[in-house]
Structure 1
Amino acid sequence: MGYIPQKSLENLKKYAYKGVDKSVLSRYVLNPFWTWFVTLWPLSVAPNTITLIGLMIVFFNFITMIYYDPLYLTAKGGASGPPQWMYFTWAFGLFAYQSLDAIDGKQARRTGMAGPLGQMFDHGCDALNTTLECILASHALNLGRSWWTVASQIATHANFYLTTWEEYHTGQLFLGVFSGPVEGILMIVGIYALTGLYGPSFWDQKIFTFTHLEHIPIIQKLPNLPLNESFMVFGALGLAFNIIASYVNVRSAMKTAGKPSVRPLLLLLPFVTSVGIQIAWLSHPEFNHSAIIKSPLFVPFLCAWGLQFAHQVGRMILAHVTSTPFPRWDWIWIWSVIGAVDANLPRVIGRGPIIQSSMRNTALFVWMTLTISLIVYARFCTLVINDITDYLGIACFTVRKKDEHGVWRHKDHKA
């Protein structure tokens, strides 16, 4: 019951990472820093260890949020939230994650460990970070339990899915002049820093009032949204641009290969399906006493959703490095489908939910969904790592050594 068919294992040896980074900031500012930063790490440190350290820093930031604001209310909801200095640690943690995520590939080339395992591990950590940072950033923006936070999660997941979908069809990772892993992360670092200086309520100011543009006649015709909601609109425009740019790249690759250029669009439907399931669960009738979005279950729900998303894109990346068919359905969605159908029974057949008949039962079901999603994703990671390390004769967290002939060897090839 592994994830890699036996006949596809040989494709692992054919895989080679290809990437294009058009970011001016990355090329002239960050990359020189990363090139220096990687030299501080001993060659005995495996690149996957560096990636994991970065994820652990972000997870620590997430734990501090839960500690200071376990109900995820933020100032808008009546909670004091974390002390303001804590947001600076989130800024440092995210910048550290970006730096460590950028140098793991450089460390892999330094140690001769570049390959499909590093690609899988790096993208797997990125997928988890996407959800964690979405929750943290929404907290810093004072969005709290709201549909804006849900929209933020959808947008960040959509960008990651698009990048993975594009890489599957083109064979290389494209980072444009403005990309999430570079400029997007630095923008969120800036949000954390501003929240640390002025507090979460800073983002409730009206954008045109804040910029002193509200007296301009043409500006008065536009909605004077709060800063946090304006940032969400900016993110939506960025997502629209990324959709177009990704499809242009995929269309070009398909034409070059002599393949249909419209068919890849159908493979965006799995993401739309997964989002539709989660939205259906969240938008159930409120009179069934289980409004998740208005309860402390909101963060566990988002985390379960994030783990299911990580499993989905993990299978996509695995399909890319093993040259296997694109995954169109993920069985882990079944649990959320049950939750969505049950919660919407009042709307569908006019009777109350069977499983989520009370807030207590809803809590048990959401936490069970989170637990199952965590177990399934952990199983996926374990099986994939073991399959790759066994077949390629490498280790996940140990650097290989060269023998007397200059060939990379490893005595213990287990993960």
Structure 2
Amino acid sequence: MTELSGGPALPQERRVVTAIPGPKSQELQARRLAAVAGGVGSVLPVFTARAGGGVLEDVDGNSLIDFGSGIAVASVGNSAEAVVRRASAQLAAFTHTCFMVTPYEGYVEVCEELAKVTPGDHAKKSALFNSGAEAVENAVKIARAYTKRQAVVVFDHGYHGRTNLTMALTAKNMPYKNGFGPFAPEIYRVPVAYSYRWPTGPENCAAEASAQAIDMISKQIGAENVAAIIIEPILGEGGFIEPAKGFLPAIAQFAKDNGIVFVADEIQTGFCRTGQWFACDDEGVVPDLITTAKGIAGGLPLAAVTGRADIMDAPHSGGLGGTYGGNPVACAAALGSIETMRELDLNAKARRIEEIMKARLAKMAAQHDIIGDIRGRGAMIAVELVKSGTKDPNPQATAALAKACHQEGLMVLTCGTYGNVLRFLPPLVIGEDLLNEGLDIIETALAGL
């Protein structure tokens, strides 16, 4: 089985021909250490030569099964045909004018597509940016302009970016915030409905967590002072925490009742990743603003804020923008990515990935009690590892499991506030044979812990 992309067909197979990392990757790593800032990390220092479908091929000729998708970016696969075709045509036409100087159709087309696929049937407008953090930061600007308020509410375990404002919004200190303060003011954090770790049990989680969050906002901040409530519908870096059913609708309703802009950060969850166009669709939550990036453009840097037209129009002319925001090549890639999602019905493929992964992982959990929880939706699945017989986080086992997978040619990522979650974000176009082979590797690695 091969993956047809913009370049030669890439065999869809795992192939380990050297130690990982191999000699050529090690040579490149030495060059990297001399030239690249030490603060820029890597999960696995194998240097990629080609990628497509469900595999990454490194400079040593190893072919790794990809359970990371570049952190949920390459959802349509690397170098997907429509992405390459559209981006190449645009690259040949022109690479940049700056939309704020002389506009172009591609930017408008992407905004039109976002209005179609995002939740809700109200009038919508969008603004395009470069990265997820930039989108979140602009969502705050828009909400403040609309409400004439300043306070922003976020949630425990949330992640929203690495700029100064989005570091303030992010819950986890290391490695994102440590030593980088002071941070932006008027940011307030409240509990999230983390079912697995809720003190009185998952059956009470949604009601109690939403009541606590609303009480804290009302008493400590004052709802009349809150410009925006921002939440990831599934909390990504915090551990793929899927808030207990009922929590998101309760928070969204509270926001609506109090004139607060409800912002869904769908940067990691969006564009078919959870088996629906957006994770908010699961409970019928319609956000006022939605931020997107990652899976939007097949690997090219693009991000967006999409929302109710009256809210999006609140900032003054010239108040939103950026030199590269909505770059024409990235816009062309986004149109190719959305085309691919529709043509291949990647929502259905994501749901099939969930079906396979959860069934296999449940069998592993029955044999290994260090798997405390299996959660997520679509092709956004995770296992939380704990110390045997407890719910105490087990980051050591998580790191060891990830390393064992890497050595066998399976790219996996870790996450979680406690560093004890193994997360799986395979490309939505991955073949079921590769998916099952990757799960075989995890199963073997678990047995060896």
Fold-level similarity (TM above 0.5):
no
Which one has the bigger helix percentage?
1
